[in-house]
Amino acid sequence: MDSERHLIERVAKKLPSRIGGGLRVGIGDDAAVMRPRKGSEWVLTTDAFLENVHFQLRLHPPEAVGYKALARATSDLAAMGARPRYFLLSLALPPSCTGKWFDRFLEGMSRAARGFGLVLAGGDTTKNPLAAINLTVIGEVPPGQAVLRSGARPGNLICVSGTLGEAELGLRLLQRGWGKFSAGPSSELRVNKWSPNPRKKWVRLLRKHFYPEPRLALGEWLAKNRRATAMIDTSDGLSTDLAHLCEASGVGARVWAHRIPRVAVPNEIRKLGLDPLRLALDGGEDYELLFTVPRRTARRLPRVVRGVPITVIGEITRGKHILLMDGAGRTKTLPAQGWDPFRVRM
Amino acid sequence: MDSERHLIERVAKKLPSRIGGGLRVGIGDDAAVMRPRKGSEWVLTTDAFLENVHFQLRLHPPEAVGYKALARATSDLAAMGARPRYFLLSLALPPSCTGKWFDRFLEGMSRAARGFGLVLAGGDTTKNPLAAINLTVIGEVPPGQAVLRSGARPGNLICVSGTLGEAELGLRLLQRGWGKFSAGPSSELRVNKWSPNPRKKWVRLLRKHFYPEPRLALGEWLAKNRRATAMIDTSDGLSTDLAHLCEASGVGARVWAHRIPRVAVPNEIRKLGLDPLRLALDGGEDYELLFTVPRRTARRLPRVVRGVPITVIGEITRGKHILLMDGAGRTKTLPAQGWDPFRVRM
Residue pLDDT, tens place only, A15-42? 999 999 899 999 999 999 999 888 899 9
Q: What is the DSSP letter of B229?
A: S
Residue range B130-177, pLDDT digits in tens? 999 999 999 999 999 999 999 999 999 999 999 999 999 999 988 887
Q: Determine contact: A8 vs chain B, CB below 8 A.
A: no
Q: How many helices (H) and strands (E) does chain A have?
A: 10, 14
Task: Please name the residues in contact with A286: beta carbons below 8 A apart, sequence gap of 6 or more.
Answer: A162, A163, A164, A165, A166, A167, A168, A208, A212, A234
Q: Determine contact: B77 vs chain A, CB below 8 A.
A: yes
Could you tell me if A57 and A95 are in contact, meaning their C-beta atoms sit under 8 angstroms apart?
Answer: no
Report H helices in B125-215: 166-175, 198-210
Q: What is the pLDDT of residue B192?
A: 41
Could you tell me if A176 and A111 are in contact, meaning their C-beta atoms sit under 8 angstroms apart?
Answer: no
- Which residues in chain A have Cβ-Cβ distances shorter than 8 Å to B87? none
Cβ separation A44–B341 shorter than 8 A? no
Cβ within 8 Å of B, A 235-264: 248
Task: Assign A343 a pLDDT band (cuts: 50, 70, 90).
Answer: low
- Which residues in chain B have Cβ-Cβ distances shorter than 8 Å to A76? 30-31
Q: Determine contact: B28 vs chain A, CB below 8 A.
A: yes
Could you tell me if A203 and A64 are in contact, meaning their C-beta atoms sit under 8 angstroms apart?
Answer: no
Q: Determine contact: B299 vs chain A, CB below 8 A.
A: no
Task: Please name the residues in contact with B34: beta carbons below 8 A apart, sequence gap of 6 or more.
Answer: A41, A42, A43, A44, B22, B23, B24, B85, B86, B121, B138
Cβ separation A90–B46 shorter than 8 A? yes
Question: Is the confidence at residue B16, as pLDDT, over 80?
Answer: yes
For residue A245, what are the CA distances in angstroms to A240, A241, A258? 9, 6, 21
Q: What is the pLDDT of residue B340?
A: 79
Q: How does DSSP assign A275-323, residue by residue?
A: -HHHHHHH------EEEEE-HHHHTTS-SEETTEEEEEEEEEESSS-EE
Task: Assign B2 a pLDDT band (cuts: 50, 70, 90).
Answer: low
**Which amino acid does the sequence have at B12?**
A
Task: Assign B3 a pLDDT band (cuts: 50, 70, 90).
Answer: confident
- Which residues in chain B have Cβ-Cβ distances shorter than 8 Å to A86? 44
Nearest-neighbour CA in chain B from A71: distance (Å): 14
Task: Assign B345 a pLDDT band (cuts: 50, 70, 90).
Answer: very low
Q: Residue A256: how many CB atoms within 10 A of its CB?
A: 18
Residue range A81-98, pLDDT digits in tens? 999 999 999 999 999 999
Q: What is the mean pLDDT of chain B?
A: 91
Nearest-neighbour CA in chain B from A45: distance (Å): 5
* Sign of the dihedral defined by the CA atoms of residues A225, A227, A231, A237, in that order: negative
Task: Assign A195 a pLDDT band (cuts: 50, 70, 90).
Answer: very low
Q: Determine contact: A328 vs chain B, CB below 8 A.
A: no
Say how far apart CA B226 and CA A121 lie, in whole Å: 24
Cβ within 8 Å of B, A 104-163: 121-130, 132, 134, 136, 138-139, 141, 143, 146, 148-150
Q: What is the pLDDT of residue A180?
A: 56
Residue range B202-247, pLDDT digits in tens? 677 899 999 999 999 999 999 999 999 999 999 999 999 999 999 9
Question: Is the confidence at residue A292, as pLDDT, over 60?
Answer: yes
Highest mean pLDDT (candidates A150-159, A189-198, B269-278): A150-159
Q: What is the pLDDT of residue B180?
A: 57
Say how far apart CA B338 and CA B236 lie, in whole Å: 5
Question: Is the confidence at residue A99, as pLDDT, over 90?
Answer: yes
Greater confidence, A341 or B202?
A: A341
Q: Determine contact: B90 vs chain A, CB below 8 A.
A: yes
Q: Determine contact: B37 vs chain A, CB below 8 A.
A: no
Q: What is the DSSP letter of A146?
A: P
Cβ separation B80–A232 shorter than 8 A? no
Greater confidence, A176 or A106?
A: A106
Residue range A293-340, pLDDT digits in tens? 999 999 999 999 999 999 999 999 999 999 999 999 999 999 999 987
Q: How does DSSP assign A12-72, residue by residue?
A: HHHS----BTTEEE-BTBSSEEE-PPTT-EEEEEEEEEEBTTTB-TTTS-HHHHHHHHHHH
Cβ separation A44–B138 shorter than 8 A? yes
Characterize the bridge pairing of strands A322-325 and A252-256: parallel
Say how far apart CA B154 and CA B246 lie, in whole Å: 10
Residue range B278-298, pLDDT digits in tens? 999 999 999 999 999 999 999
For residue A293, what are the CA distances in angstroms to A51, A78, A233, A249? 38, 16, 15, 13
Q: Which of A53, A125, A233 sits opposite B126 (nearest CB)?
A: A53
- Which residues in chain A have Cβ-Cβ distances shorter than 8 Å to B25? 146, 148
Cβ separation A126–B24 shorter than 8 A? no
Q: What is the pLDDT of residue B54?
A: 95
- CA dihedral in degrees (B76, B79, B82, B86; nearest 10)? 10
Cβ separation A47–B127 shorter than 8 A? no
| pTM attached to this predicted model | 0.93
Say how far apart CA A254 and CA A157 lie, in whole Å: 10
Question: Is the confidence at residue A213, as pLDDT, over 60?
Answer: yes
Lowest mean pLDDT among A266-280, A289-303, B317-331: A266-280
Lowest mean pLDDT among A183-197, A258-272, B87-101: A183-197
Cβ separation A342–B2 shorter than 8 A? yes
Say how far apart CA B84 and CA B216 lie, in whole Å: 8
**Which amino acid does the sequence have at A102?**
F
Cβ separation B122–A232 shorter than 8 A? no
HSE-CB of A141 using CA atoms within 13 angstroms: 33
Task: Assign B270 a pLDDT band (cuts: 50, 70, 90).
Answer: confident
Q: What is the pLDDT of residue A198?
A: 53
Q: Across-strand partners of A141?
A: A41
Q: What is the mean pLDDT of chain A?
A: 91
Cβ separation A124–B53 shorter than 8 A? no
